Structure 1
Amino acid sequence: MSTGQIQFAEQDGMFVLKFLGDVRLTLCATLDYTIEKIFSALKFRAIIIDLTETSCIDSTSLGLLAKLSILSREKIGLLPTIVSDSEDISRLLLSMGFDQVFNLINGPAPCIDCADLPEQDVSEAEVKAKVLEAHKILMGLNANNRAAFSDLVHALEH
């Protein structure tokens, strides 16, 4: 089981996702559900992903964040913002090409009270499908990601 968690808040049209601890694929259904919830809202003016309390984030979670950015650009023309104050996390984001699909900010996150997201009960097949989708999205960001994740994607497809 994951030692991480994801929190969520909405205030005056600003949606905040706060990742805490070690965020892994066990939270992918929760994250994907929340992404759908954000885009079902009628009005919003900003999406902020707060990684200031994130110790580790896996590629599945990163792929779903890339999905969030792609949907945001397609549906409303908005580039979401990721806030990180960790050199390691920031370096990871840059290596994945996130500077192309997010506004990256190094510093403190906005002060908004977040509540824990409820975990989603999904089957192993649903988790596998989300992992596959997340990695395909990452592969689409740049050639380095394509090389890094092609074997995993091939294995999941077969």
Structure 2
Amino acid sequence: MSTGKIQFAELDGTFILKFIGEIRLTLCSALDDTIDRIFSSSNFSSIVIDLTESRSVDSTTLGMLAKLSILSRQKVGLLPTLVTVHPDITRLLHSMGFDQVFNIVDSPLPCLDCLSDLPSQDQSEEVVRATVLEAHRILMGLNESNREAFQDLVNALERS
């Protein structure tokens, strides 16, 4: 069971996602639904992802974040902002090429009382497999290092 959660808020067209604890695959269905909700909003202007209280972020979650960045650039032509204060998470983001698709900053956001938890979702094995596959394909598209790192996983998921 995941020991993390994702909180969400919208303030005048700025969407905020706050990741707390260990963010894993089990939270990705709710994250994917929230990404869809964000980009179907008529007043979308920017997005901030706060990782200041995250202990770890798995590769499926990273793929969903890369998807979010791609959609943000397509919709408003802006890179989303990622806030991180932990050196290990910052290194991971840079190694995945996120400095090319996000504005990465180390200034924590003020605590927002308006954040609410994303709901948990039970998904079928097929839906989870499709989410994991999509996330890793997106990561592979960011750079050659990611392509090499995730090719075997993607091939295995495509075969199953």
Alignment TM class, shorter chain as reference: over 0.9
User: For residue 147 of structure 1, what is the aligned residue in structure 2?
Assistant: 148
Q: For residue 121 of structure 1, report the CA deviation from its aligned partner.
A: 2.6
User: For residue 104 of structure 2, what is the aligned residue in structure 1?
Assistant: 104
The answer to which of 97-106 and 115-124 deviates more is 115-124
Q: For residue 44 of structure 1, report the CA deviation from its aligned partner.
A: 2.2
Matched letter for residue 66 of structure 2: A
4+ long deviations beyond 6 Å: none
User: For residue 35 of structure 1, what is the aligned residue in structure 2?
Assistant: 35
Alpha-carbon distance between aligned partners in 1 of 2:65 and 2:145, rounded to the nearest angstrom: 18
Q: For residue 120 of structure 1, report the CA deviation from its aligned partner.
A: 2.2
Q: Give 5+ residue unaligned stretches, structure 1.
A: none
User: For residue 12 of structure 1, what is the aligned residue in structure 2?
Assistant: 12
User: For residue 26 of structure 1, what is the aligned residue in structure 2?
Assistant: 26
The answer to which of 127-136 and 71-80 deviates more is 71-80
1:29-73 Cα offsets, whole Å, 9 max, x none, are 011000000001101222000000000000000000000000111
Alpha-carbon distance between aligned partners in 2 of 1:45 and 1:157, rounded to the nearest angstrom: 35
Change (3 A) 1:78 1:110: farther
Alpha-carbon distance between aligned partners in 2 of 1:110 and 1:147, rounded to the nearest angstrom: 38
Question: Identity of paired residues, percent?
Answer: 66
> Does 1:129 pair with 2:124?
no
Alpha-carbon distance between aligned partners in 2 of 1:21 and 1:51, rounded to the nearest angstrom: 9
Matched letter for residue 130 of structure 1: T
User: For residue 63 of structure 2, what is the aligned residue in structure 1?
Assistant: 63
Alpha-carbon distance between aligned partners in 2 of 1:108 and 1:79, rounded to the nearest angstrom: 18
Over aligned residues, Cα RMSD in angstroms? 0.8
Alpha-carbon distance between aligned partners in 2 of 1:94 and 1:32, rounded to the nearest angstrom: 22
Q: Give 5+ residue unaligned stretches, structure 2.
A: none
1:84-136 Cα offsets, whole Å, 9 max, x none, are 00000000000000000000001212432211011123111100000000000
Alpha-carbon distance between aligned partners in 2 of 1:51 and 1:11, rounded to the nearest angstrom: 18
